[in-house]
Amino acid sequence: MSSPKCAQKAPYPIEVEAGKSYWWCACGESKKQPFCDGSHKGTAFVPTEYKAEKTGQVWFCGCKAAVSAPLCDGTHKTL
């Protein structure tokens, strides 16, 4: 499987709402980062669901290399 494209070497801070689902772009091709816009079609990637447990800010991975994706875990610092 090919590697995802790095959208940016930093996370995206996003306000999420408890109980809502968010679809994180795993391929890096979306124009609506950090979320999927359907651009993964034709690749081996599919978006990853993130279900918010509480309302507040979370940091979605922008480099697409986080081990704990879809959230940033600091892996971008090693790229």
- Cα gap 46→77, rounded to integer Å: 24
Hey, what are 46's tokens?
């599919």
Shortest Å, Cβ 78 to ligand FES: 9
Give residues with Cβ within 8 angstroms of 18, minimum separation 6.
Answer: 52, 53, 54, 55
Q: Considering beta carbons, is residue 18 or 21 the nearer one to ligand FES?
A: 21
For the segment 15-34, give every residue that binds ligand FES (CB under 6 A).
25-27, 29-30
Residues that bind ligand FES (CB under 6 A): 10-11, 25-27, 29-30, 36-40, 45, 47, 61-63, 65-66, 72-76
